[in-house]
Structure 1
Amino acid sequence: MTDYMVTGLVKKRAELAGELERTHERLRELVQQLEHLDATLRLVAPDVEVEAIRPKAFRPPDDWSKRGQMSRLVLSILRQAKEPLTSREIAAQMLLERALDTSDQRMLRTMTKRVSTALRDQREKGRVESEDGPGTYQLWSVSRSEAPTRCLPAPQR
């Protein structure tokens, strides 16, 4: 085996181990803060059941599509796809890329609606195309006219 390969793998492992250690430390801090907060709540309001308090889920901002970030992400996912995708598949991929909880059905529905809106806007601009898919779903792909083409120089006369 080549030395530079081993060196690179050792370096990458050290980076990942360091990141994991920092993540564990941050997790310990969060648990400690949560325990302190729970203890304070029990002192101030002994009748409150802190275990019944549900964690607040991340909600994407309402104006994602207005800033263009949503459209850029959707187009990026479609360009990397090997076949047309449904808006739900695009939304799931977006959640996965942003390291968000893909099992949260409510968030997936919200993101699917936002992705669908962005796709319709991009269809009106001619950047994406849709075709009938399974059930009531549309399959989306990058428009053929939007696909990158190589420009050849005009012939010399």
Structure 2
Amino acid sequence: MRHVEAVIKMLDPTYNLGRIAVKRRKPNPWFKRGTLYRRALDVLRTATEPMTAPEIAAAVLAAHGVQGASKEDTQGIALGIQHSLKNHEGKGVARIGEASPARWQLAD
């Protein structure tokens, strides 16, 4: 980060470096990177109707045997699943309807 700051100062000495924030992400304690989407697909395969991301997250945590997850942790899992589903929309999963929150099911 110091190198980036030095280059910015060379290009524009008046630039305020205080506005640059380092993103620190807390790693997920239960799932490795890239496994949430696959777990969500497993839940959707057994689902009888379209599900929302929070419903999928609760089912994924239950299937993984996680008990006592905080509300923030569950929301983080749901957001990760939601982003994964949006990235794969039309390529394995389909959004049902235009209502909010989005409901998802496997694509035909």
In the superposition, the TM-score normalised over structure 2's length comes to: 0.64
Give the gaps of 5 or more residues in structure 2: 1-26
The structure with more helix, counted as a fraction of residues: 1
Say which of 48, 70, 73 aligns to 1:82: 48
Q: Give the ranges of 4+ consecutive aligned residues of structure 1 lying more than 6 Å apart after TM superposition.
A: none
Deviations 1:5-56 (CA, angstroms, capped at 9, x unpaired)? xxxxxxxxxxxxxxxxxxxxxxxxxxxxxxxxxxxxxxxxxxxxxxxxxxxx
The verdict on how the C-alpha distance between 1:143 and 1:71 changes in structure 2, with shifts beyond 3 A counting, is: same
In the superposition, the TM-score normalised over structure 1's length comes to: 0.46
| Aligned match of 1:33 | none
Say which of 91, 103, 118 aligns to 2:84: 118
The verdict on how the C-alpha distance between 1:62 and 1:90 changes in structure 2, with shifts beyond 3 A counting, is: closer
Q: Distance in 2 between matches of 1:121 and 1:127?
A: 10
Say which of 14, 20, 29 aligns to 1:60: 29
Q: Distance in 2 between matches of 1:102 and 1:120?
A: 28
Over aligned residues, Cα RMSD in angstroms?
Answer: 2.4
- Percent identity at matched positions? 21
| Aligned match of 1:139 | 103
Contact 1:96 1:102 in 2 (8 A): no
